[in-house]
Amino acid sequence: MEDTTFPEVVVKEAENTWGRWWGAAPPHSPTHPALHFGAIPATKKLLCFEVLVANSKHALLPGGLDVLILNHIGYSYFNYFNGDVGHIRKLLETNFLSYVAMTVSALPMLKESEGSIVVVSSIAGKTAIPFTAPYSATKFALDGFFSSLRQEFIIDKVNVSITLCILGYINTENAVRAVSHAIQDTPAPKEECALEIIKSGVLRRRELHYPSRTVGSLLLLRDIAPDFLDSLMRRAYKVENIRRT
C-alpha cells in the first residue's frame, strides 16, 4: 500500500508557514471560524494546506474548519492578448486548479462542520472585459466549476454552501497599479469589500456583487443587451494609454 504520509521536514515547513501567516504558532483554539489564504505564495499555500489537512496527528487544525475563503491570484498583464498559451496554462494552475485542489482537501472537514466555501472572483469572470483575456479565462472557469459543484451538493444533500464573490474595481494596491492608467472609474474601498466577503460567507449567499450597484447593473445589461454592454466596456477604457507589449 502506498505511503502517503508527508515527510517530517515538509510538515515542519507547513507548520512554520502557518505560524508566519497567523503571526504566531499554529492555532490551537477550540474552533477556527475561517481559513483564508491571502498572504503567502500560491504554491506554498497549497502545499501548506494539504499538509495541515493530511497530518491530523500533528493537531494543526484541532477545531476543524468552518469556512474556506479562496482568494489568491497569479500575476497577469493588463494588455492586448499576446498569444502566450503558456502564460494561460500557468495562470490556470494558480487561479483555478489550486482552488479546486484546496476545496477537495478541505471538503471532508467542511462536510463535517456543514461549513461554507467562499470563492473570490471578478466581474471579468461574468462579462467580456478587454485586455484581461488570460485572467478572465481563469475567472470564468471558477464560475463554471463552483456553480456546477453547488448543484451537485444540493442533489447529494451536502450541506456545504458555496458563495461566489463577483468583485468590480477595488482599490487594492495591485489593482490600482495595474489598471489605473486605463480605467476612468473610482475604485471601491477594499476594507468594505473585505467585510462584505465575510458577511456573504457567513450568510451562505449564492453570490456577492460588490460594488452592488455597479456589478448588478453590468450583469443586468449582459443578460438583456450584451452588445450594448460590450460597447460601454470598450468606451470605459483609455485605450490610448495601453501600449502593446
229-244 in b/e burial notation, b at 16+ Cβ within 10 A? Answer: bbeebeeebeeeebee
Q: Which of 75, 77, 99, 135 is catalytic?
A: 135
What lies within 8 Å, CB to CB, of 202 at 6+ separation is 67, 116
Write the pLDDT tens digit of every residue in 194-219.
Answer: 999 999 999 999 999 999 999 999 99
- Give pTM, 2 decimals: 0.77
Backbone angles phi, psi at 170, to 5 degrees: -115, 145
Pairing relationship of beta strands 35-36 and 116-122 according to DSSP bridges: unpaired
Write the pLDDT tens digit of every residue in 3-26.
Answer: 444 445 444 544 444 443 333 333
Instruction: Please state, in angstroms and as integers, the Cα–Cα distance from residue 229 to each residue in 36, 126, 200, 224, 232, following that order.
Output: 34, 12, 27, 9, 5
Res 63: pLDDT: 66
CATH 3.40.50.720 residue ranges for the chain: 65-241
Confirm whether 135 is a catalytic residue. yes
C-alpha cell at 123: 466581474
Write the pLDDT tens digit of every residue in 155-199.
Answer: 999 999 999 999 999 998 888 888 888 888 889 999 999 999 999
- For the 65-241 domain, the top CATH level (class) is alpha beta
Question: d(Cα 196, Cα 71) in Å, to the nearest integer?
Answer: 14
- Find the mean pLDDT for residues 57-86: 81
Asked if omega into 211 is within 30° of 0 (cis), the reply is yes
Task: Say how many C-beta atoms besides its own lie within 10 A of residue 63's C-beta.
Answer: 15
Res 56: pLDDT: 45
